[in-house]
Structure 1
């Protein structure tokens, strides 16, 4: 009936039934409220998020990336999207699509979805305002901030997802990211 496997998060499942094992606590407490239909609803007001490692306007913390992003933002966007998509799409394909959307004037609407995806993957706060507004009014700064965030989390942005994973499997570990040390990155 149930496959025999061990899942550290939920315990052991076997043919005999469910056997509770050690449970991991979620990274945050989200109270559940009953909706009128009786379905649980998460309160978004109490969700714990972490701050970005650098501010939106700290573009000159990485002057080389700032220059590349100002001259050709499709390169920076391609690098960000390859890491966020975990290598399922290439830097070149996403960068080219971003460049084609640049002709229409809509690349910021496309890139704001990647900012939302990044915030979801790393539990980042939606700051300084809604993702689409950040990208519509501060596109280069938003791309630079996202690039720096991934770089500060240990990714070598110039080599792509696959090379980062190969580097990690060889034992070249990525430095740990500590949300409490964000002030060091804001110098």
Structure 2
């Protein structure tokens, strides 16, 4: 998926792009669907400041994990003034590092030959 296509996906369905980014940044702890739903809930149900803070935290984690500089401005400024651009940058960064953004965390780890701790299903208990 090239830049124009994920740019369109970001414009029309930013929740999908954010979900994919968050699943990779969270190392599979939260699914793409759950993260995308949180994106929508944040956008609809909270103040803009809370939503921006939530999204810029993921950008900061991505940046720290991969040793990227916080430039040209702070993470929260990028998400405040151009959230779609921020999502596109984060998506492209992960893609350039070899992640298949459609596959999710676990499939990427299998593809890269890395082992992942099994997920424990937190179902109902007696």
What TM-score, normalized to structure 1?
0.57
| 1:117 to 1:79, Cα distance in 2 relative to 1, 3 A | same
Please identify the structure whose Cα radius of gyration is greater: 1
Q: Runs (4+) of structure 1 moved beyond 3 Å? A: none
Structure with the larger strand share: 1
Is 1:80 equivalent to 2:24 in the alignment?
no
Q: Any idea what SS the aligned residue of 1:155 has?
A: coil
Partner Cα separation in structure 2 for residue 102 and residue 95 of structure 1: 11
Residue of structure 1 aligned with 2:36, choices 95, 107, 117? 95
Higher RCO (CA-CA < 8 Å; seq separation 6+): 2
Is 1:143 equivalent to 2:87 in the alignment?
yes
Deviation at 1:128, TM superposition (A): 1.2
When the two structures are aligned, how many residues end up with a matched partner?
A: 110
What RMSD, in angstroms, separates the aligned Cα atoms of the two structures? 1.4
Partner Cα separation in structure 2 for residue 133 and residue 168 of structure 1: 34
1:115-130 equivalent positions in 2, closer than 5 A: 115-130=59-74
Partner Cα separation in structure 1 for residue 93 and residue 16 of structure 2: 16
Listed as ranges, the gaps of 5+ residues in structure 2 are: 115-126
Partner Cα separation in structure 1 for residue 73 and residue 112 of structure 2: 34
Structure with the larger helix share: 2
Q: Any idea what SS the aligned residue of 2:112 has?
A: helix
Q: Any idea what SS the aligned residue of 1:169 has?
A: coil
Listed as ranges, the gaps of 5+ residues in structure 1 are: 1-60, 171-187
Partner Cα separation in structure 2 for residue 126 and residue 169 of structure 1: 30
Residue 54 of structure 1: aligned partner: none
